[in-house]
Structure 1
Amino acid sequence: MGFLVNQGASVHIAQDTMTAAYRRWEDIEHPRAWAHTVASRALVRKIAFAEEQPAEQVPEPTSLLARPDAIAEWDRHDLLPVLRSLPPRQRQVLAWALAGFTPAEIAEHLGMTVEAVRASLYKARRTVAELLKEREEGQ
């Protein structure tokens, strides 16, 4: 969940990913990497094909969390607003790094070169450092 939230996703993508994992469990060799890859691709598809469709009623809260309002507590974490301000690719690569993956692993799972991953990580970390410094100076 934290991995997906760091990338700007909803709990629905996590639920769909876990459902797919359950259905293919016998075929999955590296469950953690598989789930991260599937969830990342689902998020990219969602962003690429997003169409705004207003809803008359707000859907019921998800049952993935013990308390449906617990997701709001994640928004209070200092890093989330900073991550949301990053460009999508930098946010995605940084989320993978925060989840413990190396640049080589990230490159393999996202179909990028290791150099491109390192460049995105460098830019993301530099931007995060600048934003945190600005926040500290503004307080």
Structure 2
Amino acid sequence: MGRDQSFEALLDEHGAMLRRIASAYEAGRERRHELEQDILLAVWRAMPRYRGEAPVRAFIARVAHNRAVTHVAREAAEPRRQPLDEETPSAAPTPHDALEALDLQDRLAVAVRALPLSLRQPALLTLEGFTPAEIAPMLGLNANTVSIRLTRAKVALRDALNPQDRS
């Protein structure tokens, strides 16, 4: 199997995870698509360095997260520009908008994006099915630190998803 075919097979198997990672770092459709392309290029370039020391899924997740962090850092250094978008909702939600806001998956994605990077990475990888022991080497941490960050992320997500429960 050639490199192009093996890369296509890799994308078939892990493309959805890579798109979810990109969406955790970019909310805007165009920027998210740009990040997805950057991640794919980074994975393409990194695959020849894969030595089989970890599962390929973990390897490409780490490459994707590293690329996303670089993307966020680059974006933070640029001046803020926000084009007006006809689809941008107004500040006052309509009843229809309020019902749509109740959709758990969308609310969870927004809440994960709002987490500080140190909590977002382990939370997102946990949502992808990785254990703290698998996440630790990806992030250069020990499993205990990952578990502590996950506990903090869960509290922050619970607060974000259930604001009426705060007392």
Q: TM-score, normalized by length of structure 1? A: 0.69
Matched, 1:16 2:49: no
Aligned amino acid, residue 48 of structure 1: A
Measure the CA separation in 1 of the matches of 2:64 and 2:42: 10
* TM superposition shift of 1:22: 3.3
Residues 122/52 of structure 1: CA separation in 2 closer, same or farther (3 Å cut): same
Q: Contact 2:21–2:65 (CA<8 Å) still a contact in 1?
A: no
Residues 88/20 of structure 1: CA separation in 2 closer, same or farther (3 Å cut): closer
* TM superposition shift of 1:77: 1.2
SS of corresponding position for 1:112:
coil
Q: Cα deviations across residues 86-110 of structure 1 (Å, max 9, x unaligned)? A: 2121111100111111101111111
Match of 1:95 in 2: 124
Question: How many residue pairs end up in the alignment?
Answer: 120
Match of 1:124 in 2: 153
Give structure 1 stretches of 5+ with no counterpart: 58-75
Measure the CA separation in 1 of the matches of 2:117 and 2:138: 16
Matched, 1:35 2:60: yes
Q: Contact 1:13–1:39 (CA<8 Å) still a contact in 2?
A: no
Q: Contact 1:21–1:35 (CA<8 Å) still a contact in 2?
A: yes
Q: RCO (CA 8 Å, sep 6+): is it higher in 1 or 2?
A: 1
**Higher CA-based Rg:** 2
1:27-106 pair list within 5 angstroms: 27-28=49-50, 29=52, 30-49=55-74, 50-53=76-79, 77-106=106-135
User: Identity over aligned residues, as a percent?
Assistant: 28
Measure the CA separation in 2 of the matches of 1:40 and 1:109: 9
Q: TM-score, normalized by length of structure 2? A: 0.59
